[in-house]
């Protein structure tokens, strides 16, 4: 979606309970600006209005700042063709205990889409509005996108958000290749964004594979190879029957892998799984993918965010650097909770004091490829770890996911039968009786 401003043309954009009209003029914007960026910013709770935020120039230095500066210098070394070719996409996720807008984090993240970094081949953002999923996609650079600017300056609130800025390594710079990807399964909207390099899902490899012993690809009416994505699922007890309910629209390895994960989960469960079962299954599939990819040359890099409805977001990391590159591709996260402090974005001179805009009920988890702020302590997710985020908190092991179930934050569907009870899973994971006693399960 390429959007150009023309005189006397009005663009109408509608969001939840929000209808705003933009009209191009030759006069300068009336909104106060900072480094050519509007001085309005994020609010962490629906209890607050949206006053302008004055940047804070007196900031404490984080003990990780030296490491973070080194990381950013590596990622912004784009003066040579080699360094550009070795770049990858970046991810941003947010998961909250209370309805929260994402404009502060997205403001810094969008700068990496063509301004402070090279990820200029499109951007996308999905957030849950109840059980519905609102999606924004643009093949233009996020740093130049009018739609991205709109989202930065007009806060909308959610409990769960996934965003992505793209540096194209597989698939052309087209709208159909822009993350996050979305699919319906079990009557639930799932969204998926990926950073990395998974050769086993490269279309140029699997599109030519078929049952023909001479490996001659079957062709469609436009004389292109018929695509049949690889099957995964043996790790969770499902074999390949040849059925592929979910298939990629674009040409990225990311979307193909997302479809493969959904195909395996759909084949595995005939009732809606509990969150511990879902965590265990996704972890097994991730292990299977990395093992499958180890048969190919090159370094496997697999980092993704998976939204599973209004409350739940999974984050998986198999980090690494492309051969010949020092740019590290992993996942980091932090949890902002009381007592709140100020934070300063590393990609733009912009600060906010969260202590003046939050309550004891607010808690926000931010997940990003590289830390977005230079004065907070970020935690890197370890290789092979799958975290489930709910209410702004990470859960590492399947048994920890019961906390979300007891809050009624599990998967919700009107078209899929629910697992009869949780007692079987409780016994399986040997939870303490006092953990679930009296919880009506």
Report residue 372 as tokens. Answer: 């977005």
Cα–Cα distance for residue pair 227/220, rounded to 1 Å: 9
Residue 36 CB coordination number (10 Å): 7
Q: How far is CA 215 from CA 183, 231, 240, 296, in A?
A: 31, 18, 19, 18
- Identify the active-site residue in 40, 62, 89, 308: 89
Q: How far is CA 177 from CA 166, 170, 426, in A?
A: 9, 9, 41
What H or E segment, with its residue span, contains residue 275? helix 275-293
Is there a catalytic annotation at residue 89? yes
Sign of torsion over alpha carbons 406, 410, 412, 416: negative
Burial, 371: exposed, middle or buried (Cβ in 10 Å; 0-12, 13-18, 19+)? Answer: buried
Residue 144 CB coordination number (10 Å): 14
Please name every residue paired with 419 in a beta bridge, in sequence order, or none if there are none.
Answer: none
End-to-end CA separation in angstroms for the chain: 48
Instruction: Enter the DSSP assignment of 190.
Output: E
What residues act catalytically? 89
């Amino acid at each position: 979606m390429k959007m150009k401003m023309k005189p006397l043309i009005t663009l109408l954009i509608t969001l939840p309970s929000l209808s705003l009209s933009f009209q191009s003029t030759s006069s300068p914007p009336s909104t106060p600006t900072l480094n050519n960026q509007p001085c309005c910013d994020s609010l962490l709770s629906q209890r607050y209005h949206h006053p302008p935020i004055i940047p804070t120039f007196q900031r404490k230095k984080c003990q990780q700042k030296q490491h973070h500066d080194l990381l950013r210098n590596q990622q912004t070394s784009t003066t040579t063709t080699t360094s550009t070719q070795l770049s990858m996409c970046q991810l941003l996720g947010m998961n909250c205990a209370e309805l929260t807008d994402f404009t502060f984090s997205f403001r810094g993240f969008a700068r990496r889409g063509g301004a402070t970094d090279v990820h200029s081949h499109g951007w996308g953002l999905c957030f849950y509005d109840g059980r519905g999923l609102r999606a924004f996609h643009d093949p233009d650079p996020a740093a130049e996108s009018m739609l991205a600017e709109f989202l930065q300056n007009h806060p909308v609130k959610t409990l769960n958000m996934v965003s992505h800025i793209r540096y194209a390594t597989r698939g052309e710079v087209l709208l159909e290749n822009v993350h996050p990807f979305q699919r319906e399964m079990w009557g639930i909207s799932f969204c998926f964004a990926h950073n990395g390099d998974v050769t086993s899902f490269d279309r140029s490899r699997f599109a030519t594979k078929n049952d023909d012993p001479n490996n001659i690809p079957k062709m469609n009416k436009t004389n292109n190879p018929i695509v049949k994505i690889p099957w995964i699922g043996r790790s969770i007890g499902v074999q390949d029957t040849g059925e592929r309910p979910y298939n990629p629209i674009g040409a990225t390895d990311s979307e193909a892998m997302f479809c493969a994960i959904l195909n395996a989960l759909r084949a595995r469960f005939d009732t809606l799984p509990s969150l511990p079962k879902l965590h265990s299954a996704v972890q097994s599939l991730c292990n299977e993918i990395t093992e499958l990819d180890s048969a190919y040359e090159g370094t496997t890099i697999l980092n993704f965010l998976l939204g599973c409805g209004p409350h739940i977001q999974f984050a998986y990391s198999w980090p690494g650097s492309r051969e010949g590159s020092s740019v590290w591709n992993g996942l980091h996260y932090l949890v902002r909770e009381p007592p709140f402090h100020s934070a300063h974005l590393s990609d733009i001179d912009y600060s906010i004091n969260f202590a003046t805009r939050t309550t004891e009920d607010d808690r926000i988890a931010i997940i990003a490829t590289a830390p977005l702020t230079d004065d907070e302590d970020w935690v890197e997710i370890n290789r092979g770890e799958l975290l489930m985020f709910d209410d702004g908190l990470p859960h590492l092991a399947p048994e920890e996911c019961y906390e979300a179930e007891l809050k009624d934050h599990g998967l919700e569907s009107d078209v899929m039968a629910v697992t009869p009870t949780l007692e079987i899973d409780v016994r399986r994971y040997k939870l303490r009786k006092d953990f679930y006693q009296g919880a009506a399960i």
